[in-house]
Amino acid sequence: MPMTYEDYLDEVTTLLTEMFDMSDAAAIKHVMRAQAADFFTLHDDIPAMRTQERAVQDAKTLFAQISQSRSQARPQSRQPSAPKPRQPGKRKK
């Protein structure tokens, strides 16, 4: 039996916390962002999409998208610069 739309969103949120060790606040934030981006629009219109199996699939998809956006948001690590050559002169004690 399909879940209500609200129960479905709750289930996806719970799965994010359980499967990916995400905090409740972070999981809620990501589900709300996905909802605002119309990720769940068809789920609202088609009750048959609101199953446990689909919730697991959607949690995995959201986590993959989150991970991908995090890796793209990180600046490229800079290569360490070569050490500067020493200037001739007195040595420090």
| DSSP states along 54-70 | HHHHHHHHHHHHHHHHH
Give 35-44 pLDDT, tens digit per residue. 999 999 999 9
Ramachandran area for residue 65 (φ above 0: left; ψ -120 to 50: alpha; else beta) = alpha
- DSSP code at position 85: P
As a whole number of angstroms, the distance between CA 47 and CA 42 comes to 9
Give every CB contact of residue 28 below 8 A, 6+ residues apart in sequence: 13
Give domain limits for the chain: 5-69
Tell me the average pLDDT of the chain.
87
- Token pair recorded at residue 82: 């070569």
**Average pLDDT over every residue of 37-64:** 96
CA torsion through residues 44, 50, 54, 60, sign: positive
pTM for this model (two decimals)? 0.75
